Amino acid sequence: MCGIVGIVGKVPVNQALYDGLIVLQHRGQDAAGIVTLDNNTLRLRKANGLVKDVFEPRHMQRLAGNIGIGHVRYPTAGSASTAEAQPFYVNSPFGIALAHNGNLTNSHLLKEDIFSVARRHVNTTSDSEVLLNVLAHELHNSGVMALQPEHIFRAVANVHRKVKGAYAVVALIIGHGLLAFRDPNGIRPLVMGKRETELGTEYMVASESVALDADGFTVLRDISPGEAVYITEQGELHSFQCAENPSYTPCIFEYVYFARPDSTIDNISVYASRVAMGTMLGHKIKREWAHLDIDVVIPIPETSNDAALQIATELGLPYRQGYVKNRYIGRTFIMPGQEARKKSVKRKLNAIKQEFKGKNVLLVDDSIVRGTTSQQIIDMAREAGAKKVYFASAAPEVRFPNVYGIDMPSANDLIAHGHDVDSICKIIGADGLIFQSLPDLIEAVRQGNPEIKRFETSVFDGHYVTNDIDQDYLNRLDQMRSDDAKARLNEAMATNLETYNEG
Ligand code: AMP
């Protein structure tokens, strides 16, 4: 997963882009980048690291201009080098910079195609560079010197026809303005807002509404699946539905885990959806576990806090923050390889013994993916003196890899792959394990916007909305994404440090 922002302002946008990226940091801690447009020249700074470390005052000073885009990158296998930090740039036509959240599922074919048709070379393994070249080729094909909105929208329509997968995109086109678009299924989020100033209206697009809040922009609306929004350098806004058959199927995992609770995505409050997940799961626990003698409900901080509090309320039980999280350590997934990940759970969480000693505890997490976290957290609860440890997951069993930009490991690394609830319960060492059902999860999220009839739920049910995922694709992904593959990649990177261009 990644985070993107774009602003067309009336004054320099470097600080607003930075502040937007800071509140989207949870969407990717691997690399960050900003491009601004300054008198027909693109100013770029990108590097590996957190936003606060990547942009020093000297870089910020260089990022002049009233229009810009930014990106925070989340690590997936094959993307850890600085050369793959975003935004990417091509000089023709016009000079275009682009940043992208998502994953293209036909990237390898597009890469071959763009070379054979247009002799365009893609220099990294990043699908964002592929996407940029496909867009550049389509804009080039318009054949005009000054692009009109209809030329840009026709180019995006052709991108939709060629490119498969999930993509929310921001791009700067020199001499023109900012372009933002979303894939025809709207898998990855993109919201737009405006801010009135004495100098006129400023526009902003971002992965999550929280970035607009931070910069004092008010939300206008979500960009629709398949829609493109083009804001000229002068601040004129144009929008158009570019997809032939758009469908509204946003990724449900944004609500389960990824997004910040204070964001609204596709008109659904992430916070309200997590509370509703707690209500649903609380009802299920009452129905199926009425006989259990639970003393206290304890969240695994922090994503599950809202759901856990609601479960406690439904069950009429106390809610206690029994684990303390060290805020200065990255998310566990960021650690490459299983061994490093195991150690990092202990460094990240510690138990408050009084909340466990002699009690039957119900631990609540947002999801169980590999099971590493749950296993160790259950161990910690026992070490802290818990009598019985029950475990509830606000999401159903994660059984299938994600192909739309979330680093959900290869199927073999998923604990629920090939295991039923009883065996997962044994492996993680719980005295009882309960998962949210998929219909309940969908209902919990849908309550916020009943107009959305379907969500992208492939990690739970194996149904991929783009209809282009076959076993061959999953096998290839498996080779790239498994823990073994990541370990090999890290080893290679350690011995082959790449140089990069600061811009
Ligand atoms: P585990 O079961 O050990 O793989 O860890 C599951 C925990 O990791 C969940 O409770 C989430 O808080 C978090 N998580 C779930 N999905 C992801 C993801 N794709 N990237 C990073 N963290 C995740």
DSSP 317-352: --B---EEE-TTS--GGGS-SHHHHHHHHHHHEEE-
pLDDT classification of 498: cutoffs 50, 70, 90: very low
Q: Distance, CA 47 to ligand 1 centroid (Å)? A: 25
How many A from CA of 373 to the centre of ligand 1? Answer: 8
Ligand 1 centroid–CA 27 distance in Å is: 13
* d(CA 123, ligand 1 centre) in Å: 31
d(C-alpha 371, C-alpha 409), whole Å: 12
Residue located nearest, by CA, to atom 23 of ligand 1: 333
Q: Using the predicted structure, report yes or no on whether residue 493 has a pLDDT greater than 90.
A: no
Atom 21 of ligand 1 has which residue's CA nearest to it? 333
Q: CA end-to-end span of the chain, whole Å?
A: 25
Indicate whether residue 305 lines ligand 1 (CB < 6 A). Answer: no
What is the rounded distance in angstroms from the CA atom of residue 205 to the CA atom of residue 25?
A: 16
User: 10 Å Cβ neighbour count for 464?
Assistant: 22
Query: Which pLDDT score, from 0 to 100, does residue 500 have?
Result: 32
**H or E element, residue 167:** strand 165-173
Is 376 touching ligand 1 by the criterion CB < 6 Å? no
Q: 143 φ, ψ to 5°?
A: 70, 10
Tens of pLDDT, residue by residue over 144-192, are 999 999 999 999 999 999 999 999 999 999 999 999 999 999 999 999 9
Q: Tokens in use for 52?
A: 């606060």
Ligand 1 within 6 A of 409 CB?
no
CA 395/CA 377 separation, integer angstroms: 18
Of 257, 348, 366, 403, which is best to mutate to test ligand 1, by the most ligand atoms within 8 angstroms of its C-beta? 257
Atom of ligand 1 nearest to the CA of 415: 2
Question: Cβ(364)–Cβ(299) under 8 Å?
Answer: yes
pLDDT higher at 92 or 485? 92
What is the model's pLDDT at position 503? 29
Peptide bond into 87 cis (omega under 30): yes
Give yes or no for residue 371 CB within 6 A of ligand 1: yes
Tell me the C-alpha distance between 21 and 36, whole Å: 14
Distance 366 CA to ligand 1 centre (A): 8
Q: Which residues pair with 392 in a beta bridge?
A: 364, 434
The residue contributing the CA closest to ligand 1 atom 11 is: 367
So what's the pLDDT on residue 343?
A: 60
Q: What's the gap in Å between 115 CA and the centre of ligand 1? A: 38
Q: Which residues are catalytic?
A: 2
Q: How many residues does the chain have?
A: 503
* pLDDT category of residue 81 using cuts at 50, 70 and 90: confident
Question: 405's torsion region: left (phi>0), alpha (psi -120 to 50) or beta?
Answer: left
Residue 421 CA to ligand 1 center (angstroms) comes to 18
* Atom in ligand 1 nearest the alpha carbon of residue 406: 19
pLDDT tens, residue by residue, 222-271 = 999 999 999 999 999 999 999 999 999 999 999 999 999 999 999 999 99
333 lines ligand 1 (CB under 6 A): yes
Mutation choice for ligand 1 from 333, 346, 402, 406, CB with most ligand atoms inside 8 A: 333
Tens digit of each residue's pLDDT (9 = 90 or more) over 303-354: 999 999 999 999 999 999 999 999 887 544 445 455 555 566 788 899 999 9
Region 85-89 average pLDDT: 97
Q: Is 366 in the pocket of ligand 1 (CB under 6 A)?
A: yes
Ligand 1 neighbourhood includes 126 CB (under 6 angstroms): no
- Closest to 433 (Cα-Cα) out of 377, 350, 349: 377
